Amino acid sequence: MNLLEIKNLKMDFGKNADALRAVDGVSLTIGTGETVCLVGESGCGKTVTALSIARLVPTPPANYVGGEILLNGRDVLKMSNGELRSIRGGVVSYVFQEPGASLNPVFRIGNQIKESLKLHRPEKATNDEVIRLLKLVGIPAPESRIKNYPFEMSGGMQQRVMIAMALASEPKLLVADEPTTALDVTIQAQILDLLGELKQRLGMAILLITHNLGIVGDMADRVAVMYAGQIVELSPAKELLRRPLHPYTRALMASVPKLHGTAERLSAIPGNVPRIGNFPPGCRFAPRCPIAKPECSDKIPELVEVEAGRWVRCPFWKTP
Amino acid sequence: MGQMSVLENTMSLLEVKNLKVHFPVKHGMFSRVHEFVKAVDDVSFAIEPGETLGLVGESGCGKTTLGRAIVRLVEPTAGRVLLSGEDITQMNGSVLRTRRRKFQMIFQDPYGSLNPRMTVEQIVGEALDIHKLTDSKSARQKRITELLKAVGLDAVYAQRYPHEFSGGQRQRIGIARALAVEPELIICDEPVSALDVSVQAQIINLLQDLQQQRGIAYLFIAHDLAVVEHISRRVMVMYLGKIVETADARTIIREPQHPYTQALISAIPEVDPESKRQRIILPGDVPSPIHPPSGCPFHPRCPIAQLPKCQEEFPEFREVAKNHFTSCHFAGTKIEASRNPARREAV
Amino acid sequence: MNETDPIQNPTVEQPLSPWQLFWRRLKQRRFAMVGGVILIVLYLVALFAGFVAPYNYDRLDTNYSFHPPLWPKPAGFHLAIPRYEPGAGSFVYRVVPNDTKPLHFFIRGDEYKLFGLVPATIHLFGTGDEHYPVYLLGTDQFGRDVLSRLLYGSQISLSIGIIGILLSFTFGMIIGGISGYFSGWTDTVIMRLCELIMSIPALYLIISLRATFPPSMSSAQVYAMIIIILSFIGWASMARVIRGMALSLREQQFVLAARSLGQSHLRIIVRHILPNTFSYVIVAATLSVPYYILGEVVLSFLGVGIQEPNASWGNMLTAAQNTEYLRNFPWLLAPGAAIFITVLAFNFLGDGLRDAADTKSL
Q: What is the pLDDT of residue A98?
A: 85
pLDDT at C61: 84
Q: Give me the residue from A185, A253, A265 closest to B58, CB to CB.
A: A185
Are C66 and C155 within one domain? no
Q: Enumerate the residues of chain B whose CB falls inside 8 A of the CB of residue A251.
A: 198
Binned at pLDDT 50, 70 and 90, residue A256 comes out as confident
Provide the 10 A C-beta neighbour count for residue B195: 22
Is residue B6 in some structural domain?
no
pLDDT over 70 (residue A229): yes
User: Of C115, C143, C171, which residue is a domain's last?
Assistant: C143
Nearest Cα residue in chain B from C265: B93
Tell me, yes or no, whether C129 and C193 share the same domain: no
pLDDT of residue C12: 44
Residue B264 within any structural domain of the chain: no
Q: How far apart are CA B152 and CA A272, in angstroms?
A: 13
Mean pLDDT of C28-43: 92
Considering the domain architecture, whether residues B89 and B231 belong to the same structural domain is answered as yes
Q: CATH 1.25.10.10: does it fit domain A4-91+173-259+266-312?
A: no
Residue type, C84: Y
By C-alpha distance, which of C202, C156, C204 is closest to C308? Answer: C156
Q: What is the dihedral of CA A138, A140, A146, A147, to 10 degrees?
A: -150
Confirm or reject contact between A264 and chain C (CB < 8 A). Answer: no
CB C18 to CB B163 under 8 A?
yes
pLDDT at position C15:
61
Q: Are B185 and B217 in contact (CB under 8 A)?
A: yes
Quick check: C275 contacting B, CB < 8 Å?
yes
The whole-angstrom separation of Cα C301 and Cα C318 is 5
**Would C23 be classed as within a structural domain?**
no
Given a contact cutoff of 8 angstroms between Cβ atoms, the answer to whether B174 and B206 are in contact is no
Residue A296 per-residue DSSP state: G
Q: Using CB atoms within 10 A of its CB, is residue B172 exposed (0-12), middle (13-18) or buried (19+)?
A: buried
Domain assignment of residue C22, yes or no = no
CATH number, domain containing residue B126: 3.40.50.300
pLDDT on residue C258: 92
C126 and C237, same domain (yes or no)? no
Residues of chain A with C-beta less than 8 angstroms from the C-beta of B205? 265-266, 268
Residue C1 scores a pLDDT above 50: no
Contact yes or no for B198 and A251 at CB 8 A: yes
Neighbours of chain A (3+ CB pairs under 8 A): B, C
Task: Write down the pLDDT at residue A124.
Answer: 85
Q: C7 pLDDT exceeds 60?
A: no
- Residues C91 and C123 placed together within one structural domain of the fold: yes
Bridge partners of A26? A9
Cβ–Cβ under 8 Å, residues B54 and B220? yes
- The mean pLDDT of C282-303, rounded to a whole number, is 87
CA–CA distance from A22 to each of A10, A14, A197, A278 (Å)? 8, 10, 34, 11
Domain containing residue C287:
148-357
Tell whether B126 is covered by a domain: yes
Residue C44 belongs to a domain: no
Do B250 and B283 have their domain in common?
Answer: no
Is the pLDDT reported for residue C40 higher than 80?
A: yes
Flag whether pLDDT at C11 surpasses 50: no
Are C169 and C100 within one domain?
A: no
Tens-digit pLDDT string for chain B (347 aa)? 445 545 455 688 999 999 999 998 877 666 677 788 889 999 999 999 999 999 999 888 899 999 999 999 999 999 999 999 899 998 888 889 989 999 999 999 998 999 998 999 999 999 999 998 888 999 999 999 999 999 999 988 998 889 888 889 999 999 999 999 999 999 999 999 888 888 899 999 999 999 999 999 999 999 888 899 999 999 999 999 999 999 999 899 889 999 999 998 888 887 776 666 677 888 877 788 888 888 899 999 888 888 888 888 889 888 988 889 999 988 888 887 654 433 333 43
Residues C131 and C193 occupy one common structural domain: no
Residue in A with minimal Cα distance to B227: A257
d(C-alpha C316, C-alpha C295), whole Å? 14
Examine the fold and report which residue of C143, C177, C197 is the final residue of a domain before the chain moves on: C143
Q: In chain C, which residues have their Cβ closer than 8 Å to the Cβ of B108?
A: 253
Q: What is the pLDDT of residue B342?
A: 39
Instruction: Determine whether the interchain pair B152/C5 forms a contact, defined as Cβ–Cβ distance below 8 Å.
Output: yes
Chain C positions in Cβ-Cβ contact with residue B181 (cut-off 8 Å): 261
Chain A residue at shortest CA distance from C7: A271
Same domain, yes or no, for C172 and C201? yes
Sign of CA dihedral B243, B245, B251, B256: negative
Is the pLDDT score of C4 beyond 60?
Answer: no
The nearest alpha carbon in chain C to B108 belongs to C253
For A35-49, A156-170, B280-294, which range has the lowest pLDDT when averaged over its residues? B280-294
Phi/psi at A215 (5° precision): -65, -35
Whether residue C343 sits in one domain with residue C237: yes
Which one is predicted more confidently, C40 or C183? C40
Whether C16 has a pLDDT exceeding 80, the answer reads: no
pLDDT recorded at residue B347: 35
- Which residue is closest to B287 within chain A, CA to CA? A154
Q: Which residues in B lie closer than 8 A to residue A144 (C-beta atoms)?
A: none
Interface ipTM: 0.84
Q: Which of C143, C163, C192 is the last residue of a domain?
A: C143
Whether B230 sits inside 8 A of A188 (CB atoms) is no
> Could you tell me if C157 and C98 lie in one domain?
no
B294 within a domain of the structure (yes/no): yes
**CB-CB contact of B19 with B1 (8 Å):** no
Q: From the CB of residue A143, how many other CB atoms can be counted at a distance below 10 Å?
A: 13
Could you tell me the residue range of the domain that residue B82 belongs to?
Answer: 14-254
Q: How many domains are there within chain C?
A: 2
- Side chain identity at residue C149, one-letter code: R
Query: In a mutagenesis test of the C interface, which of B74, B115, B163, B211 is the best target, namely the one with the most C β-carbons within 10 Å?
Result: B115
Q: What does the pLDDT read at residue B18?
A: 94
State the total domains in chain B: 2
Question: Does residue B248 share a domain with residue B294?
Answer: no
pLDDT given for residue B123 in this prediction: 94
Give ∠ CA C323-C325-C326 in degrees, rounded to 5.
65
Does A272 sit within 8 Å of B201, measured CB to CB? no
Last residue of a domain, one of B205, B225, B254: B254
Provide long-range contacts, Cβ within 8 A and 24+ apart, for C77-80: C78/C102, C78/C103, C79/C103
Partner residue opposite C262 with nearest CB, options B97, B112, B157: B97
Boundary-marking domain end, from B254, B286, B314: B254
From B112, B169, B202, residue closest to C252, measured CB to CB: B112
The letter for the amino acid at C347 is N
Same domain, B172 and B317: no
pTM of the predicted protein model: 0.84
C139 and C185 housed in the same domain: no
Q: Is B259 among the domain residues?
A: no
- Give the mean pLDDT of A99-106: 88
pLDDT at position C100 is: 80
Whether residue B150 sits in one domain with residue B238: yes
- Residues B54 and B186 occupy one common structural domain: yes
CB contacts under 8 A, C 11-30 vs B, are 11-12, 15-18
Residues B52 and B105 in one domain: yes
Is residue C238 in some structural domain?
A: yes
Break chain A into its structural domains and give their ranges: 4-91+173-259+266-312, 101-170
Confidence band, pLDDT 50/70/90 cuts, at residue C181: very high
Other C-beta atoms closer than 10 Å to the C-beta of C251 total 9
B273 → closest Cβ in A154, A193, A242: A242
Is the domain of B163 the same as that of B241?
yes
> Whole-angstrom Cα distance, residue B202 to residue C4?
6
Q: Does A1 touch chain C (CB under 8 A)?
A: no
Looking at residue B273, its pLDDT comes to: 63
- C328 and C189, same structural domain? yes
Task: Tell me: do C165 and C104 sit in the same domain.
Answer: no
Can you tell me the distance from the alpha carbon of B285 to that of A188, in angstroms, rounded to the nearest whole number?
11
pLDDT of residue C323: 83
Do the chains contact at B105 and C260, CB–CB below 8 Å? yes
Cβ–Cβ gap C7/A287 under 8 Å = yes
User: CA torsion, points C345, C350, C351, C356, in degrees to nearest 10?
Assistant: 130
The pLDDT value given to residue B245: 94
